[in-house]
Amino acid sequence: MRTSNLLLPIIKENPKEAEIVSHRLMLRAGMVRQLGSGIYNWLPLGLKVLRNIEQIVREEMDKIANEILMPTMQPVELWQESGRYEAYGKEMLRITDRHERPMLFGPTAEEVVTDIFRNACKSYKDLPKTLYNIQWKFRDETRPRFGVMRGREFLMKDSYSFDIDEEAAKVTYWKHHATYLKIFERLGMKAVPVRANTGPIGGDLSHEFHIVAQTGESALYYTDDFSYAMADEMHDPATAPAGFKEARGIEVGHIFNFGTKYSAAMNAKVQGADGKEIFPHMGSYGIGVSRIVGAIIEASHDDAGIIWPESVAPYKVGLINIKQGDEACDKLCEEIYAKLPSCLYNDGNTGAGQKFATMDLIGLPWQIAVGPRGIEAGTVELKNRNTGEKQEISLEAALSKVA
């Protein structure tokens, strides 16, 4: 992609409305624009990162679950069955359609998925079954803030499992636990799973997953193998064993095992091998996909801008033409651009300084700069955004480094 063809509205100054670094950098790098309170437009650069994260989540989830898609609009009747319609409070966006029928914008989907399950699955042979979807949710927060980190409309991966008994449900639960660690590893992030309270979802077994970042909202206490890890709400310094490490974290995932709470309330049962009816044991498992975009930036940035892990970067290489209009520079840049499958070519007429600053700001893993002096010497400048290391090397060497 050429910057001349891309909607990339860079902002040089820090926007006043942004309180935290990820929000500031997402606005400055032209990744998102606010449309309303807690509601964001995703511009090309931000959307690419969001889609890269979504794809990693999908690839790992496909190994343990079926992908489905549930609508944003949900009927209230299912929530009345589960007993959560009144209980959910004002965070639920309640809507009335043209025929005065009440609906709601789904904040989560335990009820809808249990309804899908009870209509489709009638026998123990249909178990185990895990269904997931990656869909926009809406939670009408009193005070949305921090950009996409605490938005009202946000993208969530939510999965739901149905098992024959408690033991099988726990196996599925721990499969999700392992899958989540794999997902965050592929995202290039250090994630800590911590024991958590179950809250309004219910149940007795629950973990949160936090991305470690100095600016994190939660205090985490953990050992190197995470076997006692917990968030501050669960941590009691008086009884904690020695050797606990402390860090700050941003919650990006939460998993719950809650038994038959929804299957019983909504009469979702299957026939067992002995002919008796069984309420499946369930769990639900969330990942805040749009929130992760902000969390990665909180964990990975410097004064100059964002530092994307390679797996989620919108482009792998940023190509800088130091002297746009110079025949040799233009020609070499076109050659390099044609060779790189994931390259953002800054072909604008701005000065070289501004081009370097923009590339640092948007945080692509590699930068290749082409200028007249380098061409004379037979070199280009290759910069690693993460380490800051710069090298004057041959084009071939640069291309093989970024390959």
Residues near a copy of itself (CB under 8 A) are 5-7, 9, 30, 33, 35-37, 39-44, 47, 50, 66-75, 90-91, 93, 95, 97-98, 101, 103, 105, 112, 115-116, 119-121, 129, 131, 136, 138, 140, 142, 152-153
CB of 248 to a copy of itself, least distance (A): 30
Contact 50, 293 (CB under 8 A): yes
CB of 147 closer than 8 Å to CB of 250:
no
Shortest approach of a copy of itself to residue 313 CB, angstroms? Answer: 16
> Which residue shows structure tokens 């499969």?
175
CB 162 within 8 A of CB 128: yes
Q: How far is the CB of 218 from a copy of itself (least distance, A)?
A: 25
Residue 232, burial from CB neighbour count under 10 angstroms (0-12, 13-18, 19+): middle
Q: Which is nearer to a copy of itself, 138 or 308 (CB)?
A: 138
Nearer to a copy of itself, 140 or 310 (CB): 140
How, if at all, do strands 230-231 and 277-278 pair?
Answer: unpaired
* Rounded Cα–Cα distance for residues 52 and 316 (Å): 12
What is the bridge-based pairing of β-strands 317-321 and 343-346? parallel
Residue entry with tokens 């989907």? 109
Residue 74 or 257 having the CB closest to a copy of itself: 74
| Shortest Cβ 294–a copy of itself spacing (Å) | 16
Q: Which is nearer to a copy of itself, 96 or 214 (CB)?
A: 96
Q: How far is the CB of 64 from a copy of itself (least distance, A)?
A: 10
Both tokens of residue 396?
């071939």
Q: How far apart are the first and last CA of the chain?
A: 17
Give 6 or 181: the residue with its C-beta nearer to a copy of itself. 6
What is the smallest separation between the CB atom of 180 and a copy of itself, expressed in angstroms? 21
Q: Cβ distance 364 to 382 under 8 Å?
A: no
120 or 397: CB nearest a copy of itself? 120
